[in-house]
Structure 1
């Protein structure tokens, strides 16, 4: 059985790797958040020159996308956007998952240590986005923000600019601009540092937000490397870098400004109707669900696929490890040493995967294997693999406890009857272990349903990823995430009820067998 499973996994790995290699020649794979309008955003159709997003039926558009299209045309390739979280962009590039980054990224000195940058294709300036009816809506200089609670995106130079505001409270950096817009809208923070195009876009899309720009001498002090925006490439990709710079050189300053204005006008706006102002919270939720049910359904399907397969495979791994660790010591000295070494290996595996977060494991396995060994794994297959081995580490300990819960007298009785260790486990112990660990297995299943949300760092289009995309399109963040929470609750509640029913059937069958 183990050989069959390994053979199937190897075949899938080769299949997905082959597909990836075939696509690499046809497409220019460009990484971006697709959630940072007007530089990049997600939309439902290919209007205004939008291009497909990998692994999705949606499209990406924006200033970055249009620049990337010009580069792809010059290279004779089709543009394919790989929607990636901000923190995953550089690992995706260095590991070969994408060919370049076009995501409003500045060529800072820290980033230049990891990747190479093209010439600048846009220059922007920092501003502050605040609530339109808040205490800082009439601010004209940095000094006016004394006492304000401010933040910026994690990992960008904008966050350090808060130190230039005397008396401002520097809040924890946030993952993306959607979180910051929601935080301003809900009053958690007073404002966030952004760049003029994003702030203009946010102001236009949401009337509750306002951009505060500064006259010379009253705003931030920045360097050219901070305000410039460039294409990111691998350091060894000098040939492509030269071609990218050649393309950028053909785009004049006027053309760049014109293109940015076009993208600001083309960005999706918050949907409004005659009743939106008077609609209550639950009506807005229902509207979001009915208008975007297909995205939620696909995300839910992927979440269930990963969590079900991951839990089943992880349970099998746990059972195999549990049986192995209770096996008697081999009589042959050489085999006994190998048995002990393999036992140490299993202990290391269990401790590592129980002692590190799944989000870190996902980054290391998906990007690390490609960067260190040149193995390119399909992200869905990688997600299933990650959840499976993570679950296996936890289930091995659960199974071990289940085996120890079986009375020792049953082991002795089986031995007296001439059963081998394998026969004892298969016919006597494992059936009892399965019943004993069923509640813990169900709990692990519920955890996996929720933990799939961290897989958005490797661009898996699960429920949270799909919901976050809807939030960026509707600009109704709280309502959208409430819908996501409700779907997660329905999934976990249903799974819990099903597993309790299975437990009762197990108990009834055991009772019936005992009576007869």
Structure 2
């Protein structure tokens, strides 16, 4: 191993930290201070909103992506932005991330089929309704519930709905129902329905129409008059979510008042007709890759970027922490006290980041930093920071274990030769410790590749998030996730084999002869050259 490897890693880590830090210190800008109108939505809830690969049918570019968003919500957003004399920008965000994205200043409005429930009004404000919806139930055509005319017909059925929506609370109106745990999104519910895990899920009529058109095995229930779900206006009215005391609320309500019921119905019909096709003619693999291949490739690239940078920076952090935590006790009292404080802080860092889920850390950093310190952090930067810091906590313990595994006699021998602790670490201990730790570091890299999927909470468009979007729009859940699984397997297998080669290179030749090497180094010619 070359003696300058630690220095090179240090330079790389310093450069990366400067790059990440430059993004992290950007102050939050309010909507009124810019010429853009940032709208948050899932972009995966057709016909209200979905993701597509082209700008067809007046689609809007998704921020930080090569994809476009379209649907009823998008067209409403375009009208609102025009009335505000701003340019609409779609920020693709998971459902649970929409309220914190709004309150933290990441977006200016939520237009995602959200109802102005009393609980939501406690934290955000709402415009007047821009669509009035009705609840329905989506079931399989071959199930006994396909002939249901009343919610009472679902007695004993396994029913679910989307998490954090009034749909899930509406299930309580069905007597004798088996209320399954809520699910994050509609693609997940469709998968569960097709697989038979549930008997149906609560939805809105437009989404039911979409499900029925896209999948011949599904249908939505036409409840008889007075036999459906009982709802309040706060449940069925869909409104635009705004921050408290938003100065644009009055203008938005004025614009909504000019859109007639006929025009709203026309917009919804166009959304249903324009949503991405789910038909697959011929080979399913070719069909998916032809339509969504670029999206999968970009997701794969983002996954590799985050996992690679996160592992490299995490390794540097872990290396430094591991070295500091294994320094010998100083003789002076003050230095011992300082060392104890530093070790306590490092131990706290390790315990916090190893003891909490990465998904929680990502949400706290991305949304919390904006709310608490008014720092607007790019979602990719936030992802890189979280993965790096999280990985550093794990690798620090791996490196510490590698250092401890080196025979203590080598420390004593280096000390006898007059080497300082830093020299001992750089020239004797770390090369062995890193080599011993390399299999565990490889495992961390592989784990990072897979764990990037949790970054969907801050809507990073990595591989799993892209696959989830594709599955929800194409209704080809098994096929899509099979492709995604194959991509993950190829990445992890390749990384594993590359690190095996690195391990062999670090091991050196098996027939290495110390005496022969020493004789080659100390030949008369070399001695003469040294003396000269």
TM over 0.5: yes
Report the CA distance between 1:236 and its aligned residue: 3.7
Report the CA distance between 1:36 and its aligned residue: 0.6
1:147 alignment counterpart: 156
1:259 alignment counterpart: 267
Q: 1:270 aligns with which of 261, 272, 278?
A: 278
Distance verdict in 2 for CA 1:3–1:440, change over 3 Å: closer
Q: Distance in 2 between matches of 1:90 and 1:324?
A: 41
Q: Distance in 1 between matches of 2:492 and 2:201?
A: 35
Contact 2:47/2:206 (8 A) holds in 1: yes
Report the CA distance between 1:499 and its aligned residue: 1.4
Q: Would you say 1:32 and 2:61 are equivalent positions?
A: no
Q: Distance in 1 between matches of 2:83 and 2:431?
A: 63
2:434 alignment counterpart: 434
Contact 2:148/2:223 (8 A) holds in 1: no
Report the CA distance between 1:474 and its aligned residue: 1.8
2:491 alignment counterpart: 491
Q: Distance in 2 between matches of 1:22 and 1:259?
A: 30
Contact 1:127/1:214 (8 A) holds in 2: yes
1:235 alignment counterpart: 244
1:421 alignment counterpart: 421
Contact 1:115/1:235 (8 A) holds in 2: yes
Q: Would you say 1:250 and 2:258 are equivalent positions?
A: yes
1:360 alignment counterpart: 360
The superposition leaves residues 287-343 of structure 1 with CA deviations (integer Å, 9 ceiling, x where unpaired) of: 323443222211111111111111111111111001111113345544443332222
Q: Distance in 2 between matches of 1:320 and 1:511?
A: 33
Q: Return 5+ residue gaps in structure 2 as ranges.
A: 1-6, 518-532
Indicate the SS of the match to 2:90: strand
Contact 2:322/2:397 (8 A) holds in 1: yes
Contact 1:17/1:378 (8 A) holds in 2: no
Contact 1:157/1:226 (8 A) holds in 2: yes
2:122 alignment counterpart: 113
Q: Distance in 2 between matches of 1:409 and 1:13?
A: 42
Distance verdict in 2 for CA 1:17–1:216, change over 3 Å: farther
The superposition leaves residues 14-53 of structure 1 with CA deviations (integer Å, 9 ceiling, x where unpaired) of: 3576598599723211100001111101111111111001
Which range moves more in the overlay, 165-174 or 504-513? 504-513
Structure 1 segments of 4+ aligned residues over 6 angstroms from their partners: 1-4
2:141 alignment counterpart: 132
Q: Return 5+ residue gaps in structure 1 as ranges.
A: 276-282
1:161 alignment counterpart: 170
Report the CA distance between 1:142 and its aligned residue: 1.2
Q: Distance in 1 between matches of 2:132 and 2:142?
A: 30
The structure with the largest alpha-carbon Rg is 2
Distance verdict in 2 for CA 1:463–1:7, change over 3 Å: closer
Contact 1:270/1:474 (8 A) holds in 2: yes
The superposition leaves residues 111-168 of structure 1 with CA deviations (integer Å, 9 ceiling, x where unpaired) of: 1111111111111111000012222111111121112111100110111111111222
Q: 1:69 aligns with which of 78, 84, 97?
A: 78
1:87-102 → structure 2 map (5 Å cutoff): 87-102=96-111
Indicate the SS of the match to 1:47: coil
The superposition leaves residues 199-252 of structure 1 with CA deviations (integer Å, 9 ceiling, x where unpaired) of: 112112222110102123211111111111111111142x12222112112112
1:405 alignment counterpart: 405
Indicate the SS of the match to 2:220: strand
Indicate the SS of the match to 1:29: strand
Q: Distance in 2 between matches of 1:215 and 1:51?
A: 38
TM-score (norm 2): 0.91
Indicate the SS of the match to 1:292: helix
Indicate the SS of the match to 2:508: helix
Cα RMSD of the aligned pairs, angstroms, is 2.1
Q: Distance in 1 between matches of 2:125 and 2:30?
A: 26
2:3 alignment counterpart: none
2:57 alignment counterpart: 48
1:280 alignment counterpart: none
The superposition leaves residues 328-386 of structure 1 with CA deviations (integer Å, 9 ceiling, x where unpaired) of: 33455444433322221111110010001111111011111111101111111111111
Distance verdict in 2 for CA 1:514–1:212, change over 3 Å: farther
Indicate the SS of the match to 2:37: strand
Contact 2:23/2:378 (8 A) holds in 1: no
1:505 alignment counterpart: 505
For these two proteins, the number of residue pairs brought into alignment is 507
